[in-house]
Structure 1
Amino acid sequence: MFGIYLKRELGRRKKAALVIALGLALGIALVITVNSVSAGMTQAQDKVLKSLYGLGTDMTVTKAQSAPKAGSSQGPNFKFDAKSSSKTTQSSDRVMTQGGQALASSLVTKVAAQKGVAEAVGAITLNVTKVDGSFTQGKAQSSTSGSSQQQGGPGGGTGSSSGGQPQVQGGGANFSVNSYSVAGIDVTNQDLGPLATSKITSGKTFTASQTDAKVAVISKSYAKSKKYKVGSTFKISGTKFTVIGIATPDSSESTTDVFIPLKQAQTLGDSKNKVTTIYVKATDSKQISTVKKTIQKNISGTTVTTSADLASTVSGSLSTASNLATSVGKWLSIAVLAAAFLVAALLTSSAVSRRVREFGTLKALGWPSRKVTRQVVGESMVNGLIGGGLGIALGLAAAYAVTAISPKLTAQLGNTGGGGGMGGGPGGGGPGQQSASSTMEIALSAPVSLTTIALAVGLAVTGGLIAGAMGGWRASRMRPADALRSVS
């Protein structure tokens, strides 16, 4: 009886039911779209952080760079052979550590022993500035111009001179400067640290036995610019390295050009038994903040930076879009939903007021108030579910459109301050001055999760209940006498 009556009544009021359903559908579709875009923003931000931070890395431990002493020079210093002949090519490398003050390698073991730490590895980041070029020696020549005038002797006379002091003509220098980044990694654990963000697309990666081998893995972009391939050799400060693999970043362009074993990097940077960054993986991702406090408490003088700390430094259009989706989008969704629920409730209540004769007659035939209320609520629930179905369809279509278009967003990672930030240096090898210029482009997607679908269904049911509750309450107050008064 309930189902038959429900079907007949909804069929009689198709327009009213459609208006209610569409109102709920628009609100639900907006919620799905905003939640999906917000999820896409989170994924995009995770790509940015992982590409600079290291896959599987939960935090990094660094130490802020100490202030330079008065009178000390921090600029590059190159020395060349002054006895070289004319047009002889000169070349010099200057290798400097980056990413804050160097830490003792023994701290890696100490950090790994802290409560809540699953594993920790050390890495060192270097910046190599290479200067190549040549000097050209000038030639001394005497002036032979007859028109040159000389101040005369006593009496102030002037006269012509057929000779003069020798002058050096020609000569000079022509040098090119090339700067690139080098990351020294622990080859025994490559799943944590700078190389974890890339995959080997040509050649092979390091083996556990190559802890002090003169081999290197280079980034795809650097290999292309230098025309290197597997088997090529190059020198850093006189040490020859052989390319064994070419790495391609998983999610963005890497800022590390060369990866070499940690011991070799320590030797090049004159930093024996030193690291600039310690990469840490926690046993429980939900306890990262607790682990951070533990490390800071037990290992003084260090800066512990988590992905949450780094996320606050991400700027660019990604950050702007994320803020809009989080604040404006969600508040707009709430406002539209509230309006949709209110409109549905008012339309349902208005429909009930036009059914005075119907409900009064049903009560006169013996229907109790609860049965009349159940009938109105049932009709509203069906309207809500129809609106939910339409809203899910519209929301999925909008999310699919965003994913298909894939708008490009830029993300720029700023310094976290004090030299203690992470991911700013080359290849995510810890903090560094290059972080301010680390900009990447991310394609936005709008993934729809089952949780979002469940939320949409819940909102549809809620909207139907709110509308049905208001209409049912009004219907339950009607009396058979009201039906008789409505008969003309």
Structure 2
Amino acid sequence: MFGIYLKRELSRRKKAALVIAMGLALGIALVVTVNSVSAGMQQAQDKVLKSLYGLGTDMTVTKAQAAPTGNASGRPKFDFDAKSDSDDTQSSDRVMTQGGQALKSSLVEKVAAQKGVASAVGALTLNVTKVDGSFTQGKAKSSTTQQQGGGGQGGPGGGTSTGQPQVQGGGASFDVNSYSVAGVDVTHQDLGPLATSKITTGKTFTAAQTNAKVAVLSKSYAKENKYTVGKTIKISGTKYTVIGIATPDSSESTTDVYLPLKQAQTLGDSKNKVTTIYVKATDSKQIDTVKTTIQKNIEGTTVTTSADLADTVSGSLSTASNLATSVGKWLSIAVLVAAFLVAALLTSSAVSRRVREFGTLKALGWPSGKVTRQVVGESIVNGLLGGALGIAIGLAAAYTVTAISPTLTAQLGSSGGGGGMGGGPGGQGGGPGRQAASTTMDIALSAPVSLTTIALAAGLAIAGGLIAGAMGGWRASRMRPADALRSVQ
């Protein structure tokens, strides 16, 4: 009886049911869209953080760069012999540590021993500035001038004089190239600077190559300088055989050359030193606790978590993320509340127009509870219909965003000295005493819809139906059979 009557009443009031359902659908569609776009923002931000951190990294441990002392400016210095008569090319490499002060390698084991730390790996970041070119010596030439005296040409008082020698020609032409080098712990490559890249050509390091003169190059650097597997790259007089080409998984890496950690330490004159310690926690929910523990037990270090690093991401990605989080969510809540209120008012209004119907039902013996259940049942069906429409509209909007894939810009890092955010390999740390250079990345935005979002939409649809039904049912339960008789008159 309940089902038959419910179906008949809904079919009789199709327009009213559709109006209530559409009001709920708009609010639910906005919730689905905003949640999907927010999830896409989070995925984009995760890609940015992985490009700085490394796959599976929860935090990094670094040490801020100390201010230069005395006359030490920390700037690279190059000395060339300019006395040669030849035009031979001269070349010089300046290797400097990058990303903050160097830490003792023993600190890696100390960090790994802290409570809550699953594993810790050290890495050394270097910046190589290569200057090559040639000098051309000028030639000294003297000019001769002829003087004429009062006695005429050749007479008394005439003659020639030789002026000061003048250097003509000569000069110098030099090219400056700068690139980054990361020292990798070849025994733990699943954590650290090489973890976010995939070897697409050749092979990666083996555990036996802890001090081998081999190198892995980034795809962009190898392409720019025409390096292939098997060729050699010369850094500060040492030749390294290229064994692999690495391609970043999700974004552009700022590291150009990867070397075994011991080779990088030798190259940078930093024996048993690292600039960054990559840390993986045993429980991702305890990252803040682990950070506090490391800072307490290991003084003078800076511990940077993904949450800290996220604060340094600026650009259109950050702006859009803030809008989606604040304005978008508050707007969806406001629209949803308005949709619930409109649905409740429309349901209550529909009940007031059915005075004769409900009064007659009560005269036939329907109790107030049954009348209330009837109204609530109709409202829940309207809510489910609105929920289905809202989910469909939300899915269409999310699909549209994914299909268009608008490009957002993420600007990473603005801290100085290399001891702050992004100081690790692939990070933004600069040379000693210099402000870190920022890196700009382009990220394509998507809007994935999760089952959780769909479940939330369905729950909101049911909630909207219950709220509308509760208000309408309460009003219907207050009607008396006499009200029906009055309406007939």
State the TM-score bracket (shorter-chain normalisation): over 0.9
User: Compared with structure 1, are the counterparts of its residues 197 and 403 closer, same or farther at alpha carbon in structure 2 (3 Å cutoff)?
Assistant: same
User: Compared with structure 1, are the counterparts of its residues 309 and 44 closer, same or farther at alpha carbon in structure 2 (3 Å cutoff)?
Assistant: same
Q: CA RMSD in A?
A: 1.8
Which sections of structure 2, spanning at least 5 residues, go unmatched? Answer: 150-156
- Aligned pairs for 1:244-255 within 5 A: 244-255=243-254
Aligned residue for 1:173, secondary structure, equals strand
Maintained 8 Å contact 1:380/1:468: yes
Aligned residue for 2:426, secondary structure, equals helix
Match of 2:241 in 1: 242
Match of 1:473 in 2: 474
Aligned residue for 2:208, secondary structure, equals coil
- Aligned pairs for 1:145-160 within 5 A: none
Q: Distance in 2 between matches of 1:159 and 1:125?
A: 73
| TM-superposed deviation, 1:81 | 2.9
Deviations 1:43-64 (A, max 9, x none): 0000000011100100000001
Match of 1:353 in 2: 352
- Aligned pairs for 1:57-456 within 5 A: 57-144=57-144, 162-416=161-415, 419-424=418-423, 426-428=425-427, 435-456=436-457
Maintained 8 Å contact 1:276/1:430: no
Aligned residue for 1:300, secondary structure, equals coil
Deviations 1:194-238 (A, max 9, x none): 000100000000000000000000000000110000011121110
Maintained 8 Å contact 1:122/1:277: yes
**Amino acid of the structure 2 residue aligned with 1:120:** A
Aligned residue for 2:318, secondary structure, equals helix
Maintained 8 Å contact 2:63/2:419: yes
| TM-superposed deviation, 1:360 | 0.2
**Amino acid of the structure 2 residue aligned with 1:459:** L
| TM-superposed deviation, 1:422 | 3.7
User: Compared with structure 1, are the counterparts of its residues 52 and 431 closer, same or farther at alpha carbon in structure 2 (3 Å cutoff)?
Assistant: farther
**Amino acid of the structure 2 residue aligned with 1:95:** V
- Aligned pairs for 1:30-45 within 5 A: 30-45=30-45
Q: Distance in 1 between matches of 2:145 and 2:430?
A: 62
| TM-superposed deviation, 1:437 | 2.1
Maintained 8 Å contact 1:305/1:420: no
Deviations 1:459-486 (A, max 9, x none): 0001000100000000000000000000
Aligned residue for 2:107, secondary structure, equals helix
Which region of structure 1 is more displaced relative to structure 2, 46-55 or 65-74?
A: 65-74
Aligned residue for 1:196, secondary structure, equals coil
- Aligned identity (percent) is 86
| TM-superposed deviation, 1:427 | 1.6
1:28 aligns with 2:32: no
Q: Distance in 1 between matches of 2:173 and 2:421?
A: 37
Q: Distance in 2 between matches of 1:235 and 1:219?
A: 16
**Amino acid of the structure 2 residue aligned with 1:349:** S
Q: Distance in 2 between matches of 1:418 and 1:218?
A: 26
**Amino acid of the structure 1 residue aligned with 2:252:** E
Maintained 8 Å contact 1:277/1:429: no
**Amino acid of the structure 1 residue aligned with 2:295:** Q
User: Compared with structure 1, are the counterparts of its residues 36 and 146 closer, same or farther at alpha carbon in structure 2 (3 Å cutoff)?
Assistant: farther
Match of 1:459 in 2: 460
Q: Distance in 1 between matches of 2:472 and 2:423?
A: 60
**Amino acid of the structure 2 residue aligned with 1:317:** S
Aligned residue for 2:475, secondary structure, equals helix
| TM-superposed deviation, 1:423 | 2.6
| TM-superposed deviation, 1:76 | 1.2
Maintained 8 Å contact 2:418/2:428: no
Q: Distance in 1 between matches of 2:358 and 2:340?
A: 24
Maintained 8 Å contact 1:412/1:436: no
Deviations 1:143-201 (A, max 9, x none): 24559x99xxxxxxx99955311101011110000000000110001010000010000
Maintained 8 Å contact 2:53/2:424: no
| TM-superposed deviation, 1:84 | 3.0
User: Compared with structure 1, are the counterparts of its residues 461 and 416 closer, same or farther at alpha carbon in structure 2 (3 Å cutoff)?
Assistant: farther
Match of 1:155 in 2: none
User: Compared with structure 1, are the counterparts of its residues 381 and 431 closer, same or farther at alpha carbon in structure 2 (3 Å cutoff)?
Assistant: farther
Maintained 8 Å contact 2:418/2:436: no
| TM-superposed deviation, 1:424 | 4.3
Aligned residue for 1:272, secondary structure, equals coil
Aligned residue for 2:45, secondary structure, equals helix
User: Compared with structure 1, are the counterparts of its residues 94 and 475 closer, same or farther at alpha carbon in structure 2 (3 Å cutoff)?
Assistant: same
Aligned residue for 1:441, secondary structure, equals strand
Maintained 8 Å contact 1:424/1:436: no
Q: Distance in 1 between matches of 2:100 and 2:325?
A: 34
Q: Distance in 2 between matches of 1:91 and 1:319?
A: 43
**Amino acid of the structure 1 residue aligned with 2:332:** S
Maintained 8 Å contact 1:413/1:435: no
**Amino acid of the structure 1 residue aligned with 2:379:** S
Maintained 8 Å contact 2:116/2:283: yes
User: Compared with structure 1, are the counterparts of its residues 431 and 356 closer, same or farther at alpha carbon in structure 2 (3 Å cutoff)?
Assistant: farther
Q: Distance in 2 between matches of 1:343 and 1:415?
A: 48
Deviations 1:33-52 (A, max 9, x none): 00000000000000000011
| TM-superposed deviation, 1:430 | 6.7
Match of 1:13 in 2: 13
Q: Distance in 2 between matches of 1:23 and 1:436?
A: 50
**Amino acid of the structure 2 residue aligned with 1:61:** V
Q: Distance in 1 between matches of 2:159 and 2:115?
A: 91
| TM-superposed deviation, 1:429 | 8.4
Deviations 1:84-123 (A, max 9, x none): 3321211000000010000000000100011100110100
User: Compared with structure 1, are the counterparts of its residues 469 and 145 closer, same or farther at alpha carbon in structure 2 (3 Å cutoff)?
Assistant: farther
Q: Distance in 1 between matches of 2:222 and 2:178?
A: 14
Maintained 8 Å contact 1:97/1:127: yes
Which sections of structure 1, spanning at least 5 residues, go unmatched? Answer: 151-157
Maintained 8 Å contact 1:415/1:431: no
Q: Distance in 2 between matches of 1:32 and 1:182?
A: 44
Q: Distance in 2 between matches of 1:101 and 1:192?
A: 21
**Amino acid of the structure 1 residue aligned with 2:337:** A
TM-score by length of 1: 0.95
Which region of structure 1 is more displaced relative to structure 2, 331-340 or 62-71?
A: 62-71
